[in-house]
Structure 1
Amino acid sequence: MRVAAAQARCPWLDREAGVRKVVDFVGRAAAEGVELVVFPETFLPGYPIWLSEAGGVEFADDRQEAACAAYRELAVELSGPEVRVVVESVRDHGVFTYLGIAERGPGRGTVYCTLLAIDPVTGVCGVHRKLVPTPEERAVWSNGDGHGLQVHEVGGVRVGGLCCWENWMPLARHSPYAQAPDLHVSVWPGSTRLTGDITRFVALEGGVYSLAAGAVVDYADVPAGFPLRDEVLAARHRSPYDGGSAIAGPDGRWLVAPVRGEERLVIADIDPAVVRGARRELDPDGLRARPDVFGVSVDRRRGFPG
């Protein structure tokens, strides 16, 4: 199977432009013979970069509240037009797609960091809400649940995915491992600093192919009307969101080392038979998991409606 990370420049807080970008990269993936493509964390409508660049956790600050309100307003609803357009594109091109969105839940008040799995035939087949946002992210995102911790069958390849620092949570990683995946996907805001170690670590620990997808964010793309634009631009000379998309094999060696700064598809061919061979030495969901000693359960009930 040919797989790819869509390392794209994020049209920050521009949902319509973001959807066009997703549709464009799905089409590019199909033209390259890709069967599965992965987009970065909250690619629609963009990662909340001001949280780390402009004092986003300050309380009783009118401009911070206005920034959060603007972000919430542009979050994506599962039943909204943005998801419908992407589902149609996935169906037209026949490319299974993982897409990171900031999902606005019921009541319009709650926003989740969500990873959608979109099948070309059945449409949205997975909605995973990030279990625990990082301390800064909690200013805009709520805790998710275990409902979406599912592995999906894609053309004979079993695939599961996690968001950003969930990939450093041992029990969160164990959930897909226990479902015997061939490929693990991780989605990130976009940084070679974040993906360099964990992508290879997951490949070795899980005995899987490991694909990381990160965005490229240019601070110049922050729209003029955003309340904290000046603070974001003044924070540093260059955006740290430089991509970092990468693909490692089950032996932990790079098929494609982290890509810095480029906007492109990061592509590799994978073979499930290689995964089965790699698990000869370490099988994290088999006998070496010692089910007679350890027991792990996952509560897959949806925490809130939606």
Structure 2
Amino acid sequence: MTTNSSTLHLALAQISPVWLNKKATTEKIIDTINNAGKEQAELIVFGEGVLPGYPHWLAYTNGAGWNLDTNKTLHAHYCNNAVCIEDGDLDEICSTLKSHSMSCYLGIIERPKDRGGHSLYASLVFINSDGEIKSVHRKLQPTYDERLTWSPGDGHGLQVHKLKQFTVGGLNCWENWMPLPRASLYAQGENLHIAVWPGSEHNTKDITRFIARESRSFVVSVSSVMTTKDFPEDTPFLNDILKNAPTQLSNGGSAIAGPDGEFLLEPIINKEGIIYKTIDFKSVYKERQNFDPVGHYSRPDVTQLHVNRERQSTVVFKDSK
């Protein structure tokens, strides 16, 4: 690991999940972390919902059909393979990261007990180099057909974290198009923005540079890759999915832009693996000289954002002592 506090060695994990298989995908993630550890990566980032995978079936099996056994069975299969943090589903990943002194942003499909333990959320988890889960951001607004299987999250995970000289935060997929959540991270000092995606290049090629130019920050976009070959044979209603699905469901598109809005790493497509890049904090201050969206180029006396970061629940218990 580099001792230079101004530089950060990144690993962009552009991998496919073992689709809807929590155990096998966890093993693949751990193998990926171990490989990145050999390259002394300090921060590794995985795509949106990679554990255990994106709900691709919704677009190819009449996902909005009411009361269809196809949709119910696939949703139940998804729930059975979703991540329950309270049950220790991320413990092995956390311990592996700790063994390499590596931090991580990991996209998961979460089945949290604080919301009853039956509904699903697309969550972005930050794990520090001590293997500690420091934030879990549940996607605020699932996009279009995602709403048929994912629930809307809350603002609790709109948090940033110190990582050497950097202040890092992250959002899920099309949340990155939402100006106010972005602004909430900028206001906390974010200068390294993590944008996670299921894929593909059409998602990352414009917004990666746009956010970097708007925020004068580094932006790291990480996507998964996915083809029909990545569907396990034991997937419920597999033939129905394959009948309509394109061969390539996600082509990657992972990329990095610098604080000047220019690509440091142009989108990588149709390639599975780990992409490495070292970034240097020094360029952040250079680009903040003429624009800082929450500093000298803000007017809080005119416009001001209020953020509710309370973890939402349907019940509050007050037990007698």
1:229-288, Cα deviation, whole Å (9 max, x unpaired)? 112212244223111111111111111111111112122211222111111121011021
Q: 1:228 matched to which residue of 2?
A: 237
Matched, 1:71 2:95: no
Kindly state the Cα deviation for residue 99 of structure 1 after the two structures are TM-superposed: 0.5
User: Contact 1:64 / 1:228 at 8 angstroms: preserved in 2?
Assistant: no
Tell me, in whole angstroms, the C-alpha distance in 1 between the residues paired with 2:61 and 2:12: 29
Taking the aligned partners of 1:263 and 1:297, their CA distance within structure 2 comes to 40
2:18–2:232: 8 Å Cα contact kept in structure 1? no
Answer with 161-170 or 27-36: which moved more. Answer: 27-36
**Using the alignment, how far apart are the partners of 2:95 and 2:131 within structure 1?**
11
Mapped partners of 1:21, 1:181: distance in 2: 30
* 2:93 matched residue in structure 1: 86
- Structure 1 position 136, deviation (Å): 0.6
1:182-209 Cα shifts (integer Å, max 9, x gaps): 2100111121111111111111001000
Q: CA deviation at 1:55?
A: 2.0
Q: Does the 8 Å CA contact 1:96/1:119 hold for their aligned counterparts?
A: yes
Find the partner of 2:27 among 16, 20, 26: 20
The 1:254/1:230 distance shift into structure 2, 3 A limit, reads same
Q: TM-score, normalised by structure 2?
A: 0.92
Matched with 1:3 is 10
Matches within 5 A, 1:1-306: 1-106=8-113, 107-121=116-130, 123-304=132-313
Q: Is the 8 A contact 2:10 2:44 kept in 1?
A: yes
SS, match of residue 170 in structure 2: strand
Query: Is the 8 Å Cα contact of residues 54 and 231 (structure 1) preserved in structure 2?
Result: yes
Structure 1 contact 42–114 (Cα < 8 Å) conserved: yes
Name the stretch that deviates more: 48-57 or 229-238: 229-238
Task: Give the Cα separation in 2 of the matches to 1:237 and 1:178.
Answer: 41
Q: Which amino acid aligns with 2:222?
A: A
Q: Aligned with 1:165: secondary structure? A: helix
Query: Distance in 2 between the 1:210 and 1:282 partners?
Result: 17
AA partner of residue 93 (structure 1): H
Q: With the length of structure 1 as denominator, give the TM-score of the two structures.
A: 0.96
Q: In 1, distance between residues paired with 2:29 and 2:314?
A: 27
- Quote the sequence identity (%): 40
Structure of larger gyration radius: 2
Quick one: distance in 2 between partners of 1:50 and 1:15?
A: 17
CA distance in 1, matches of 2:190, 2:42: 16
Say whether the 8 Å CA contact 2:228–2:249 is kept in structure 1.
no
Query: Does structure 2 conserve the Cα–Cα contact (< 8 Å) formed by 1:146 and 1:302?
Result: yes
> Contact 2:228 / 2:245 at 8 angstroms: preserved in 1?
no
Letter in 2 for 1:213: V
Cα distance in 1 between the residues matched to 2:246 and 2:56 = 14
Shift of 1:122: 5.4
Q: Cα deviations across residues 31-61 of structure 1 (Å, max 9, x unaligned)?
A: 2221111001111111111112222122121
Q: 1:263 to 1:305 in 2, by over 3 A?
A: farther
Equivalent position SS for 2:229: helix
How big is the alpha-carbon RMSD for the aligned residues of Structure 1 and Structure 2? 1.5
SS at match of 1:41: coil
Tell me the CA shift for residue 81 of structure 1: 3.9
Q: CA deviation at 1:112?
A: 0.6
Structure 2 spans left out of the alignment, 5+ residues: 1-7, 316-321
Of residues 141-150 and 1-10 in structure 1, the stretch that sits farther from structure 2 once superposed is 1-10
Secondary structure at the counterpart of residue 72 of structure 2 = helix
The residue type paired with residue 49 of structure 1 is H
The whole-number CA distance in structure 2 between the counterparts of 1:199 and 1:305 is 36
Q: Structure 1 residue 305: deviation in Å?
A: 7.9
Q: Conserved in 2, the CA contact under 8 Å of 1:129 and 1:145?
A: yes
Deviations, residues 83-141 of structure 1 (Å, cap 9, x unaligned): 00100001111110010100002232111100000012251001100000012111111
Q: Equivalents in 2 of 1:240, 1:8: separation in Å?
A: 13
Letter in 2 for 1:180: G
